[in-house]
Amino acid sequence: MTITDMRVRTVLLPLEAPLRHSTGVHPARFIRTILEIFTDEGIVGLGEVGGGDQRGALLKLKPRLIGESPYALERIKQKTLRQIYYLSNPRLYAAIELACLDIQAKAANLPLCDLIGGKLHDSVPFSAYLFYRYEEGGKGGETTPEQMVRWTRELVARYGFKSAKLKCGVLPPDHDVDVIKALRAEFGPRFGLRLDPNGYWSRGTAIHVAHALEECRLEYLEDPTWGLEGMARVKERTSLPLATNMCVTNFEHVAAGIAMNSVDIILSDIYYWEGVRGVKTLSTLCDCFRWGLSMHSGSELGVTMAAMIHTCATLPNLSYDADAHYHHLLDDIIEGGLMQPEEGRYKVPTGPGLGVTLDEDRMGRYTELFEKEGDYYARFHEDTRNADWFPINPGW
């Protein structure tokens, strides 16, 4: 089988409300580029990548794919990720690899998980992803502990989540402590809780917050401060496990992360770690070094969400509920619309390949919406309610 063509389309999907984080505001929409790889046997593979409009970057790699076998992933990785310094981007490779794996699994008439070790579970637990949200169109506007608890209660009632992560670094850290304590009081000792300021606190603030929250038994404190060295110094001073998707984010960082004893848990991500197969390698490394393994979210739509579910279902050492922004979306681009969890768990799709199909009506609608609204990545961090503000790290 050989690759004959590639199609790329950028879509814009609406969210319920804008999401605040340490470097600004995520507007109430996600932009993703959807990739289709065509073969001479008529099988089409799906991929997806974030970071705004990625059509140009993907099309630059197209000549390196045409004529290749979708089974030749090591060749494709060498040609698209390892040889062209200015274009080498693990996110783009991950999208291409995903489409090739989708083709391979469809050709074998097997679900993707069967190609990568087979599933250990029929469904995968995800966590509620809490942000301080700006109000827009009558939705969002949660800031106080009471408002955050009320919204989390709604999410738990609707989706059955058994855990929640709070994205912080927006308000004074003692406010975050109050929110976490309110969530712990509301949902009891078995509810999983995590806190993530995206490395935005000084070491002193990080240690202060860690001490204040030790009684709350967080599952982990995620990137409380910047860098391998900063994390190592905080880790010396707290019993809370420290997790990261900011300081150990690729294979080169692993040796330093171990040598410096910077973290306890790695958040895997198919885009950071060179695709689904890279996450499988990371899983083995985590076993070797006794790191915990969790999964990061980067505002995925249904194609990536399906890939995350397939991958998570095969990871024996994934001991935390996965993150996903997915429940913030108002619609998806796949047939059937948004997948729905039961008891906080998303079922592993059972159809061949990723088990999801593009809905052409939705693709048309959200491609048009992208063309109308444009690529917001040039002003991604802009907080329109806080003119002229920009983040300085550490912020607290």
Residue 76 in contact with residue 97, Cβ under 8 Å? Answer: yes
Among 22, 127, 163, 245, binds Mg ion (CB under 5 A): 245
Strands 242-244 and 265-268: parallel
Closer by beta carbon to Mg ion, 96 or else 180: 180
Closest to Mg ion by CB, 33 or 268: 268
Which residue, 219 or 222, has its beta carbon nearer to Mg ion?
A: 222
C-alpha distance from residue 216 to each of 83, 168, 180, 213, 286 (Å)? 48, 17, 8, 5, 26
Does residue number 299 form part of the binding site for Mg ion (CB under 5 A)?
no
Using CB under 5 A, which of the segments 32-40, 111-119, 243-251, 352-360 binds Mg ion? 243-251
Angstrom distance (rounded) from CA 206 to CA 235: 10
Token duo for residue 294: 């969790």
Encoded one letter per residue, x for contact with Mg ion by CB under 5 A and - for no contact, window 181-200 reads: ---------------x----
Of 14 and 173, nearer to Mg ion (C-beta) is 173
CA atoms of 291 and 188, how far apart (whole Å): 26
Shortest distance in whole angstroms from residue 62 CB to Mg ion: 32
- Comparing C-alpha atoms, which of 357, 245, 268, 270 is closest to residue 95? 270
296 catalytic? Reply is yes
**With CB under 5 A, what is the number of residues at the site for Mg ion?**
3
State the amino acid at position 140 in one-letter form: G
d(CA 187, CA 208): 24
DSSP 188-253: -TTSEEEEE-TT-B-HHHHHHHHHHHGGG--SEEE--BSHHHHHHHHHTT-SS-EEESSSS-SHHH
Stretch that binds Mg ion, among 20-28, 242-250, 274-282, 387-395 (CB under 5 A): 242-250
Q: Which is nearer to Mg ion, 79 or 165 (CB)?
A: 165
Give the nearest distance from C-beta 324 to Mg ion in angstroms: 13
Q: How far is the CB of 244 from Mg ion (least distance, A)?
A: 7
Least distance from C-beta 222 to Mg ion, angstroms? 5
- The DSSP call for residue 80 is I
Instruction: Give the residue with the Cβ less far from Mg ion, 126 or 370.
Output: 126
The catalytically annotated residue of 79, 167, 327, 328 is 167
Distance CA 376, CA 60 (A): 22
What residues does 25 pair with on adjacent strands?
20
Element (H, E) at 89: none
Q: Which helix (H) or strand (E) holds 39?
A: strand 29-39
Minimum distance of Mg ion from residue 272's CB (angstroms): 11
Choosing from 119, 296, 327, 328, which is the catalytic residue? 296
- Cβ contacts of residue 182 below 8 Å, gap of 6+? 145, 146, 148, 149
The nearer residue to Mg ion, 39 or 262, going by C-beta atoms, is: 262
Q: How far is the CB of 94 from Mg ion (least distance, A)?
A: 18
Per-residue binder mask for Mg ion (CB under 5 A), 347-386, x = binder: ----------------------------------------
Q: Using CB atoms within 10 Å of the CB of residue 105, give its burial: 0 to 12 exposed, 13 to 18 middle, 19+ buried.
A: buried
Closest CA to 3 of 61, 90, 83: 61
x/- letters, 214..233, toward Mg ion (CB under 5 A): --------x-----------
Specify whether 167 is catalytic. Answer: yes
Using CB under 5 A, list all residues that contact Mg ion. Answer: 196, 222, 245
Q: Which residues are catalytic?
A: 167, 296
